[in-house]
Structure 1
Amino acid sequence: MKHPTTPAAEAPPAAAPGTRLPPHADLNLLRTFLAVHRSGSFTAAAPRLGLSQPTVTAQIRTLEQQAGRDLFTRLPRGVEPTPYAHELAGQIAGPLDALAGLEDAGEMAAPVHLAGPSELLCVRVLPALVPLVADGVQLRVTQGLPEPLLEEMRAGRHDLVITTRRPRGRALESVPLADEEYLLVANPVWARRVAEHPEAGDLCAALREVPMVTYAEDLPIVRRYWRNILGKQLTARAAVTVPNLYAVLSAVNSGAGYSVLPRSLCQEYLDSGRLTLLHDPEEPPLNTLFLVQRPGAETNPDVVRVRDLLRDAARGW
């Protein structure tokens, strides 16, 4: 008499040979992928990673876009790895587990991914972090505009972001870092023309014939200065539009016209006489800088070191 045989457990489908890592795959994204693969759901993986469930979802979506294919099939409860995901997990599990062991033992720390405005990074942030770099902290620095950088942080690409806008919602934690003061400045030649103008008592009128230099067509900084400090609506158009504030500084210093610049960027030029302050209001306009930290980033002790040093250094900014 033949006994019925128990069917063997079904093995995960095999992927096509030669599966490769997604190009430019971020280590944080791969860690999130492996946690989801092992736990079987975004929700279960989130607390293991110290992330919110929406952040896990966003990171997996980013990795899928980089890979050019789906990693998981979404089910009513949890997710099912695709054949490609099974193959990818097999490739990265060993190296990631070994790396985690080294990090836990204190033998190796992952680089700190830091992002913010290019001018602030160069003038304030990187000089402040020199002691940590000398002590072995690895930095991976990215420059950009606030909203794109925050979106990249939600996708797991940055540990810390310095931004002029507080992120919306509660998914990203932020703290005020410093207030940046903005100044109305020009080359000394243009400053003399403004001072000698027949309508010098009316700064807006005296500046009508002076070219304006800005980094954006909508003139956000200059427009805000006119509205909040001079109490008037800006009607002038930019004579020169350049990619960033460094280029604005260079153009104004060379005599292209006037602009509004952060004090941190132009103080050296004012002290040396290469630029002249056109207006000295009692309360200059301030732009608050926020330091934003990715959920779960504190598991890297070097992220905490960078964050705390920036907070201390910012007191003197």
Structure 2
Amino acid sequence: MIDFEWYRSFISIYKHGSVSAAAKARFMTQPAMSQHLAALESEVGEPLFTRAPRKMVPTDRGKELYTKLVPLIENLESTTQEIKQTSNHPSEMPLLKLGSPVEFFTGRVLDKVRSLDIRYLIHFGTAPTLLNQLINEEVDVIMTPQKQTVTGIEYTSLEVETFVVVAPKNIKVEEEWSDIESWLHEQSWLSYGLDLPIIRRYWREHFNKRPDIKAKHIIPNLQSILKAIEKGMGVSVLPLYLIEEAVKEGKVQILFPEVSVENALYAAYRIDQRDDPNIKTMIQQWKK
């Protein structure tokens, strides 16, 4: 009798081109993955791949089997996920473990997902921490500004956020654009981290160099940085979604609004969870 997991392993090897990469994607050991393939080939009666030094090349029989299996497996996995969501507690909403930077969750995610019939277990953290939690299956999906090539992880683009220089309301700027870098260099800077994230991007894009500045205060929370700017403690580079209300209320001001930095944001999830109905629903809702 053919085991369903053999099919999933075969498809993973086909997609990744090697047993080792497929094993990582499915969070299995390489010997277990090889055993699945050997068992399936034994049932089929002929090789499904030609073994090359660093690549598994599908045979004609392997290509034929893959073409037939993929739509069936994807549909079956999607159906299984739906049954899993409702079988144990049909009266309860499904649970989605979602990871996000705290500022982005408060400023953007809440508004996007609040109307969905899904329960949320929220994890806050930095992009590297959240990615590690995703790999270790501690969360189902994460919101992240960093797209890293990690075997078994898939990214879907959500939106592009715009960052601008934000300053206390009483700061005056009279310099011409040619003097702006010097003016910015003299300011007290508030940064999310010692390596000046986003500020470094801003300098490279508009002044074609790394910033020769040292942050006066390191505050690892964008909302707290905004509050510090309101209190006149310095300037920083912050996303528009975070500062809109403070700007309307006259608590802070945007300097040089025509000169901004854009940063892509993604939803990341494990490839074997791409058909999870909760993840698909959340992403569809985001893109409406």
TM-score normalised per structure 1? 0.63
Amino acid aligned to 1:236 = I
Query: Unaligned 5+ residue runs, structure 2?
Result: 14-21, 37-81
5 Å matches for 1:168-317? Answer: 168-190=149-171, 192=172, 194-195=173-174, 202-281=179-258, 284-298=260-274, 300-312=276-288
Say how many residue pairs are matched: 232
Change (3 A) 1:44 1:157: farther
| Residue number in structure 1 paired with 2:99 | 115
Give, in angstroms, the shift of residue 300 of structure 1: 4.2
Change (3 A) 1:238 1:105: closer
| Residue number in structure 2 paired with 1:16 | none
Kindly indicate whether the alpha-carbon contact (under 8 Å) linking 2:26 and 2:272 is maintained by their aligned counterparts in 1: no
| Residue number in structure 1 paired with 2:108 | 124
Bigger strand fraction: 2
Kindly indicate whether the alpha-carbon contact (under 8 Å) linking 1:109 and 1:300 is maintained by their aligned counterparts in 2: no
Kindly indicate whether the alpha-carbon contact (under 8 Å) linking 2:97 and 2:122 is maintained by their aligned counterparts in 1: yes
d(CA) in 2 for partners of 1:53, 1:301 = 24
2:24 corresponds to 1:54: yes
Amino acid aligned to 2:105 = L
Give, in angstroms, the shift of residue 109 of structure 1: 5.3
Change (3 A) 1:140 1:208: same
Give, in angstroms, the shift of residue 272 of structure 1: 2.0
Note the aligned Cα RMSD (angstroms).
Answer: 3.5
Query: Unaligned 5+ residue runs, structure 1?
Result: 1-38, 61-72, 79-98, 313-317
Give, in angstroms, the shift of residue 247 of structure 1: 1.4
d(CA) in 1 for partners of 2:186, 2:137 = 48
Query: Match for 1:138 among 102, 105, 119?
Result: 119
d(CA) in 2 for partners of 1:101, 1:144 = 28
d(CA) in 2 for partners of 1:285, 1:75 = 44
Amino acid aligned to 1:155 = N
| Residue number in structure 2 paired with 1:7 | none
Give, in angstroms, the shift of residue 101 of structure 1: 6.2
1:185-205 C-alpha deviation (Å, 9 max, x unpaired): 100223x2x43x7x8861122
Kindly indicate whether the alpha-carbon contact (under 8 Å) linking 1:110 and 1:300 is maintained by their aligned counterparts in 2: no
Give, in angstroms, the shift of residue 297 of structure 1: 2.8
Secondary structure at 1:202's aligned position in 2? helix
Change (3 A) 1:261 1:271: same
d(CA) in 2 for partners of 1:123, 1:153 = 22
| Residue number in structure 1 paired with 2:71 | none
d(CA) in 2 for partners of 1:153, 1:228 = 31
Secondary structure at 2:266's aligned position in 1? strand
Give, in angstroms, the shift of residue 214 of structure 1: 0.7
d(CA) in 2 for partners of 1:277, 1:75 = 55
d(CA) in 1 for partners of 2:256, 2:86 = 53
| Residue number in structure 2 paired with 1:152 | 133
Secondary structure at 1:207's aligned position in 2? helix
TM-score normalised per structure 2? 0.69
Give, in angstroms, the shift of residue 74 of structure 1: 8.2
1:160-193 C-alpha deviation (Å, 9 max, x unpaired): 1111111304522212111110101100223x2x
Kindly indicate whether the alpha-carbon contact (under 8 Å) linking 1:183 and 1:263 is maintained by their aligned counterparts in 2: yes
Change (3 A) 1:205 1:308: same
Q: Which runs of 4+ in 1 moved over 6 A?
A: 73-76, 99-102
d(CA) in 1 for partners of 2:189, 2:137 = 39
d(CA) in 1 for partners of 2:275, 2:87 = 10
Determine which structure has more spread, i.e. the larger CA radius of gyration. 1
d(CA) in 2 for partners of 1:176, 1:163 = 10
| Residue number in structure 2 paired with 1:163 | 144
Change (3 A) 1:230 1:272: farther
d(CA) in 2 for partners of 1:75, 1:277 = 55
Give, in angstroms, the shift of residue 77 of structure 1: 5.2
d(CA) in 2 for partners of 1:229, 1:294 = 36
d(CA) in 2 for partners of 1:102, 1:308 = 18
Give, in angstroms, the shift of residue 102 of structure 1: 6.9
| Percent identity of paired positions between Structure 1 and Structure 2 | 24
Give, in angstroms, the shift of residue 216 of structure 1: 0.3
Change (3 A) 1:268 1:148: same
1:217-247 C-alpha deviation (Å, 9 max, x unpaired): 1102111111102334311100111121111
Kindly indicate whether the alpha-carbon contact (under 8 Å) linking 1:185 and 1:258 is maintained by their aligned counterparts in 2: yes
